[in-house]
Structure 1
Amino acid sequence: MMSHKGAKAMKFNLNCWNEQDELKTVVVCSPSILEVSDQQTATDVQWEKQVDQEKARRNHEEMVSVMEKAGVIVVDYSTYLSTDDLALNEKLINRCFVRDLACVFGHILLPGAAGTSMRRPEYFQSHRIFQEWFDEKKFLIQANNKLKALEYGDVMVLNKDAVFINTGIRTSIESVEALQGHLFQAGFSEIGLIDLPRRPDTMHLDMNGNVAGADVFIAKSYMSYFPVLVRREDGFSFQMTGDFLNRHGFAVEWIEHIKHTIADINFLNLNPETILISTKANKSLFKNHPTLKKKKLVEVEVNELENGGGGIRCMTLPLERG
Structure 2
Amino acid sequence: MNISLNCWNEYDQLKSVLVCSPSTLDVPDAQTATDVQWEKPVSQKKAQEHFHNMVDAMKEHGIHVIDYSKHLSRQDAHLSHQLINRVFTRDLACVFGNTLVPGEPGTSMRRPEYIQSHFLFLDWFGPERFKVTANNNGNALEFGDVMVLNKDAVFLNTGLRSSYEAVERMKDQIFQAGFSEIGVIDLPRRPDTLHMDMNANVAAADVLIAKSYMRYLPVRILTETHDRYLMMEEFLFRHGFEVEWTNDIKHTVADINFLNLDPETLLISTKANKKIIRNHPKLKKKKLIEVEVDELEKGGGGIRCMTLPLERQS
Which category describes the TM-score, using the shorter chain as reference length? Answer: over 0.9
Match of 2:217 among 226, 230, 236: 226
| RMSD, aligned α-carbons | 0.7
- For 2:69, give the aligned amino acid: S
- Offset of 1:62 from its aligned partner? 0.8
Look up the match of 1:47: 38
- For 2:190, give the aligned amino acid: R
SS in 1 for 2:159: coil
Q: For the Cα contact (< 8 Å) 1:260–1:280, is it kept in 2?
A: no
Q: For the Cα contact (< 8 Å) 1:36–1:52, is it kept in 2?
A: yes
- For 1:254, give the aligned amino acid: W
Deviations 1:219-273 (A, max 9, x none): 0000000000000000111100111111111100000234343100100000000
Match of 1:129 among 113, 116, 120: 120
CA distance in 2, matches of 1:250, 1:23: 20
Does residue 60 of structure 1 match 2:51?
yes
Match of 1:100 among 86, 91, 109: 91
CA distance in 1, matches of 2:88, 2:9: 20
Match of 1:74 among 65, 81, 95: 65
Q: For the Cα contact (< 8 Å) 1:212–1:218, is it kept in 2?
A: yes
Q: For the Cα contact (< 8 Å) 1:154–1:171, is it kept in 2?
A: yes
The 1:258/1:95 distance shift into structure 2, 3 A limit, reads farther
The percent identity for this pair of structures is 65
Q: For the Cα contact (< 8 Å) 1:258–1:264, is it kept in 2?
A: no
Match of 1:30 among 21, 28, 31: 21
Does residue 217 of structure 1 match 2:208?
yes
- Offset of 1:145 from its aligned partner? 1.8
Look up the match of 1:165: 156
Equivalences for residues 287-302 of structure 1 within 5 A: 287-302=278-293
- For 1:316, give the aligned amino acid: T
SS in 1 for 2:106: coil
Look up the match of 1:272: 263
Match of 2:227 among 228, 236, 244: 236
Please, what TM-score do these two structures have when normalized by structure 2? 0.99
CA distance in 1, matches of 2:311, 2:138: 25
Please, what TM-score do these two structures have when normalized by structure 1? 0.96
Look up the match of 1:91: 82
Look up the match of 2:3: 12
- For 2:233, give the aligned amino acid: G
SS in 1 for 2:255: helix
- Offset of 1:290 from its aligned partner? 1.3
CA distance in 1, matches of 2:91, 2:249: 23
Query: What number of residue pairs does the alignment pair up?
Result: 313
- For 1:124, give the aligned amino acid: I
Match of 2:193 among 202, 205, 221: 202
- Offset of 1:296 from its aligned partner? 0.4
Consecutive unaligned residues of structure 1, counting only runs of 5 or more, are 1-9
Look up the match of 2:178: 187
SS in 2 for 1:238: strand
CA distance in 2, matches of 1:245, 1:228: 10
- Offset of 1:140 from its aligned partner? 1.3
- For 1:198, give the aligned amino acid: R
Look up the match of 1:253: 244
- For 2:220, give the aligned amino acid: L
SS in 1 for 2:94: strand
- Offset of 1:13 from its aligned partner? 1.2
- Offset of 1:52 from its aligned partner? 0.8
Consecutive unaligned residues of structure 2, counting only runs of 5 or more, are none
- For 1:64, give the aligned amino acid: V
Deviations 1:126-162 (A, max 9, x none): 0010011011110111211222100000001000000
Deviations 1:67-119 (A, max 9, x none): 00000000000101000000000100000000000000000100000000000
Equivalences for residues 102-117 of structure 1 within 5 A: 102-117=93-108
